[in-house]
Amino acid sequence: MLQRKIPLAMVFVFGVISTLQYFVPHPLSQQYYDTMLKWMIGVGSMAIFLALVSFLRHHYVRLRKKEHAPYSAVAILSFLFMTLVGFIGGMGPGSVFQKMFYYVQAPLQATMFSLLSYYMASASYRAFRAKSFEATLLLITAFIVMFSVTTFGNYVPGVPKALEWIMAVPNMASKRGIAIGVSLGSIATSLKIILGVERNWLGG
């Protein structure tokens, strides 16, 4: 009862009411929508505690292993420091929290992602072999896109126009087709969840 039936009933009741409220032009319906949005953000945000428990438990276990201990200690200390400066000093302009974001988190994140350019370059060298018509098409399109966003590519006649056409016509058609497929899939999955056909989210 508590383990499966109540969660399934909750999904059904909240799902049906939330779907129907869209079609009911009444202040109560709007009030329900506003309240549910707040509740969803609130409940969804509380999941951060689950993430924190998982994070701290993972690194606490690793603290006992000699080879991982210094790194996990650094991860926990960095987390505690960032949390403390955030709650004590605030998040405003000029705060230590903001400086930590701009001079620690942002550079680390940007450098991590920029590293991928090396690996993508080497991977694409191996993958971009025009073995078939489709692979050739992908290769040519990627080349035009990459070339046209460089300074030099902008001055080659026809290249900016070609990029414009690729983005506005074939790329738009494929993205639109995918978007239609995704929305059909999401509607079908939502219905299956509400009606209790899809129950994988309940776990074992």
Partner 1 sequence: MHISHDPWIWIAAILTLAIFSFLYKDNPFFKMAEHIFVGVATGYGFVYTWNNGIYPNLLRPLFVDHQILFVIPFILGLMYLSVVVPKFAYFIRWPFAFLLGVGSGLSIPLAFRASLVEQIKYTILPNPHGMSMGLFINALLILIGVVTVVLYFYFSTPHEGVMKPVTKVGIVFLMVGFGASFGYTIMARFSLLVGRFEFLLGNWLGVLPWLR
Tell which positions 71-100 bind partner 1, by CB under 8 A.
71-72, 74-83, 86-87, 91, 97, 99-100
Closest contact distance (angstroms) between CB of 78 and partner 1 is 3
The binder of partner 1 chosen from 25, 26, 28, 121 (CB under 8 A): 121
The answer to the question of residue 47 lying near partner 1 (CB under 8 A) is: yes
Please say whether the beta carbons of 159 and 140 come within 8 A.
no
The answer to the question of residue 137 lying near partner 1 (CB under 8 A) is: yes
The answer to the question of residue 134 lying near partner 1 (CB under 8 A) is: yes
Query: Distance between CA 127 and CA 101 in Å, rounded?
Result: 36
The answer to the question of residue 13 lying near partner 1 (CB under 8 A) is: yes
The answer to the question of residue 70 lying near partner 1 (CB under 8 A) is: yes
| CA trace torsion 13, 18, 24, 26 (10° rounding) | 100
The answer to the question of residue 156 lying near partner 1 (CB under 8 A) is: no
Please say whether the beta carbons of 159 and 144 come within 8 A.
yes
The answer to the question of residue 191 lying near partner 1 (CB under 8 A) is: yes
Closest contact distance (angstroms) between CB of 6 and partner 1 is 7
Token output for 122? 């080497």
Token output for 101? 């974001």
Query: Distance between CA 184 and CA 178 in Å, rounded?
Result: 10
The binder of partner 1 chosen from 25, 27, 157, 203 (CB under 8 A): 203
Query: Distance between CA 148 and CA 77 in Å, rounded?
Result: 45
Using CB under 8 A as the binding criterion, the count of chain residues that bind partner 1 stands at 121
Scan for tokens 């006992």, then name that residue.
64
The answer to the question of residue 146 lying near partner 1 (CB under 8 A) is: yes
Closest contact distance (angstroms) between CB of 157 and partner 1 is 18
Token output for 53? 């428990």
